[in-house]
Structure 1
Amino acid sequence: MKHNVCMVSDFFYPNQGGVESHIYHLSQCLINRGHKVIVVTHYYGSRRGVRYLKNGLKVYYLPFPTMYNQCILPTILTTLPLLRNIFIREQISIVHGHSAFSTMAHEAMFHARNMGLKTVFTDHSLFGFADASSILTNKLLKFSLADCHHAICVSHTSKENTVLRAAIPPETVSVIPNAVDASMFVPDPSKRHPEKITIVVVSRLVYRKGMDLLAGIIPEICFRHSDVQFIIGGDGPKRIVLEEVREKHQLQDRVTFLGALEHSQVRDVLVQGDILINTSLTEAFCIAIVEAACCGLQVVSTRVGGVPEVLPPEMIKLAEPSVSDLLDKLEEAILNHRHGNILPPFEANRKIADMYTWPNVARRTEQVYDMVCTLPHRELQRRIRRYYQCGPLAGKLFVIAVILDLLFLAFVSFLHPAQEIELTPSLSGPTATIYREPVNGTETRTRLKT
């Protein structure tokens, strides 16, 4: 089966991160397999309107301003007219949302379900259950996945977390890991400093990535080992904390900040290092450690979330999320480097190339699409019941939201009927035409036929 897929997320290029990379590479591989794929996100600076990326990947940068952390303001209804127009113009059959943080992904899937389209959601993160932020986010996820056809998680730990948070059946969730293009992360030992041990950090400099732990590690390691230096790639609100540590301990010549990196620059930074340290407090998968191992670096990481599932023991040292345990594991990695007890870089690259490939991820995602398209249509009464069961108060609010969205959809459809929307010619994937299907002998219903 060939599909017309719309990837939706607040996070996409030129913003940098694991979600952005995942959407781009998955889209490219699906296009190579004959599917039509478009991406919908909000505008980034001067990047607005429609852009085309490699392989004819079409990206809609919609005129929605961001509110917090690159996410748009949640409004539920105001995004409907523009998203409906795109879904019809591009003849979309499956809407694939990414990231529990993404407001646009949740709203797009919500509108798609009311339009009768299939929906798939990929969760890239882990959340707790105790703090106020997690409670609110989990309730939003429960609402979003109540009527979603299928969910994908990037690790088994992430699947367990999503099933508990969203209260959905485990059989409706698949595990498909992230991947890496090993040809883009080829080791280059000649770039390493011949007389120093370089520890690399490539991460967003935020609390969730454990930057407070890193602030405690840097001065202690530099005090113990005079031949160790740090290269830190990335930016964020915690950068000032790390800069204060560097100033306080006078480590300006041993700690280098590179700022925000383009994804194309990550490999050039990684090959300069001997060890990568990941201090995350929560991770569903962590593509950064896979890219580092692919470049031949030893990896030291916190034992959180799905990280223990990602790399074999000979490639990674796992530590508890504490300064003392991370220091111990980092000491072991430094000693292993000095004694040559490490996996040869090109052998590590070959192992990663066999373990994680985007064509494999695309093939498995394609199977999810095929399965979703065979599911029967859900009646409105059954959908309303699913939302109503989300909680004694929240359930009623969710039902009201569904009814309002359906009424607004009917109003927008009356003002701008589907048959008046010009279809976009497909550059790739299946072709589709709109036809009018008789209903009860008198009415007509607009449908997509592939």
Structure 2
Amino acid sequence: MVCDFFYPQPGGVEFHIYHLSQKLISQGHSVVIITHHYNNRKGVRYLTNGLKVYYIPFLVLYRQTTFPTVFAAFPILRNIFIRENIDIVHGHASLSSLAHEAVFHGSTMGLKTVFTDHSLYGFADVGSILGNKALKFTLNSVDRIICVSNTCKENIVLRGATDPLLVSVIPNAVISQDFAPNPNNKNSGGNLFKDEITIIVISRLFPNKGADLLAGMIPKICQANSKVKFLIAGDGPKFIDIQQTIEKFRLQDRVELIGGVKHEQVRDVMVKGDIYLHPTLTEAFGTVLVEAASCGLLVVTTRVGGIPEVLPSNMTIFANPSVDSLVESTLRGIKLLQDDKIDTSKFHDQVTKMYDWSNIAKRTENVYNSIRIEDKLSNLNQLKKFHKCGIWAGKLFILCFIVDIFILKVLEFFYPSNGIDKVIKWPKRRKF
């Protein structure tokens, strides 16, 4: 597994990689994770069940993404692939430079390659255009592609101009027992008429996560219903904007900002509320929605990206990505709870049946098994495939591929494969 985003940074991609790796280990596979260093966390670390993580010291450019170099990571990646007897290179996240490079170099070395996309991106702005070109280059090197939703699949097929038959849809999941509802939490409409109604928000406070919408919603909802309180967990550049909104409308006693929280604390925050609010502008899946529903919260969110695929309609109230629409949907959700028209006590059991990491790992394993080495393209056919990627981009891709093969030959000459020590795998407990 290769990605720029991993522990100790919290997030959906990070926990997807961790839990998927743990379940694959439980199924008898050996899994290694490669990411960049985080502060003083460098070198090799071991996590639960012998999950080995390589924190390699690369320059971080922006939001924990390494500086894209195309070739600079090849020597160390090759060494790890050979040392760990790697068969499959699985890259994650479209904006992870390290994942793109690992999949490309792994393909050059003749290894099976898989790429999972977790996000949705556009086509018009400069960043998206450049990112889509890089994605197109990677997807023309990869054997299989996994997306976390059908909307994400449509997005990546268009962005990467790839064959939809190579793309599988495998969602995220949650460990439902880690998000059990509070048995003492109020779920009946009679209590809600007397008690405070708490709206939970747990999100990175960035524009794409709807932080601006959240800042506009808070005073309107507080004005419309005097029983509403907000509990907001998260950090980011829009944290100050929300603080200023609270001070401007004098809502200090009704809105609590607690900053970023660790993932193991998310459940403890969620069970304090009645409604989970997720005003995002774009989302490929939205694992936090499943976590909230598992905790017994009614979910109010925007109808964008792959979110409509995540939960059934009885758990979710949708809104357009605008302040007025979100306010109206949130107030409607409060009214439904007050009128006792939604029984959130059953949400946890329903989520447990819908999302399970063991099932996700088995489906991912099926994708791995569908790749046959004999079906991999020869170098000549790979060049032809790159040539179809565009007048200028195609020639650049061909040049990169030829240079990569040359670097591989040079590395093999100076550092032959048989001279690299092979690791001793983590001992497995015998099953009786």
Residue 67 of structure 1 is matched in structure 2 by 61
The gaps in structure 1 that reach 5 residues or longer are: 1-6, 430-450
Could you say which residue in structure 1 is the equivalent of 2:351?
Answer: 352
Matched with 1:315 is 315
| Contact 1:109-1:119 at 8 Å conserved across structures | yes
On the 8 A contact 2:112/2:373 being kept in 1, the answer is no
Verify the 8 A CA contact 1:204 1:236 in the aligned structure 2. yes
**Deviation per CA, 1:385-408, whole angstroms, max 9, x where unpaired?**
111111101111111111111111
Residue 329 of structure 2 corresponds to 329
Q: Which residue, 164, 167, 172 being the options, matches 2:166? A: 172
**Corresponding residue of 1:4:** none
Q: What CA distance in whole angstroms lies between the structure 2 residues aligned with 1:125 and 1:350?
A: 28
- Displacement of 1:295 in angstroms is 0.2
Using the size of structure 1 for normalisation, the TM-score is 0.92
Say whether the 8 Å CA contact 1:189–1:271 is kept in structure 2.
no
Deviation at 1:191, TM superposition (A): 5.6
Give a deviation string over 1:209-251, Cα, whole Å, max 9, x none: 0111111100111111111111111111111111111111111
Q: How far 1:344 sits from its partner (Å)?
A: 3.2
Identity %: 51
Corresponding residue number in structure 2 for 1:301: 301
Match of 2:268, SS? helix
Q: Which amino acid aligns with 1:325?
A: S
* Structure-2 separation of matches of 1:202 and 1:128: 25
Map of 2:153 onto structure 1: 159
Worse-matched range after superposition: 347-356 or 400-409: 400-409
1:14 to 3, 8, 11: 8
Amino acid at match of 1:251: L
Runs of 4+ in 1 over 4 A off after TM superposition: 191-194
* Number of equivalent positions: 422
Residue 221 of structure 2 aligns to which amino acid in structure 1? I
Say which structure is richer in strand.
1
What displacement does 1:195 show? 2.2
> Which residue number in structure 2 is paired with residue 437 of structure 1?
none
Corresponding position of 1:443? none
Q: CA deviation at 1:376?
A: 1.7
State the secondary structure of the residue aligned to 1:179.
coil
Structure 1 contact 34–428 (Cα < 8 Å) conserved? no
Aligned equivalent of 1:135, options 126, 129, 133: 129
SS in 2 for 1:8: coil
Contact 1:314 1:343 in 2 (8 A): no
CA distance in 1, matches of 2:196, 2:232: 16
Looking at structure 2, the residues matched to 10 and 34 of structure 1 have their Cα atoms a distance apart, in angstroms, of 25
CA distance in 2, matches of 1:191, 1:48: 43
Q: Does 1:211 align with 2:211?
A: yes
Label 1:419 to 1:177 Cα distance change in 2 as closer, same or farther (>3 A). same
Within 5 A, what are the aligned runs for 1:192-341?
Answer: 195-341=195-341
Residue aligned with 2:120, SS? coil
**CA–CA distance in 1 between the matches of 2:427 and 2:9?**
26
Cα distance in 1 for residues equivalent to 2:78 and 2:341: 57
- The corresponding residue for 2:418 is 419
Q: Is the 8 A contact 2:121 2:128 kept in 1?
A: yes
Question: Please, what TM-score do these two structures have when normalized by structure 2?
Answer: 0.96
**Aligned partner of 1:84 among 78, 82, 88:** 78
Secondary structure in structure 1 of the residue aligned to 2:291:
helix
- In structure 2, stretches of 5+ residues that fail to align are 187-191
Q: What is the CA deviation profile of residues 23-78 of structure 1, one whole-angstrom value per residue up to 9, with x for unaligned ones?
A: 00000000000011010000111111111111110000111121101000000111
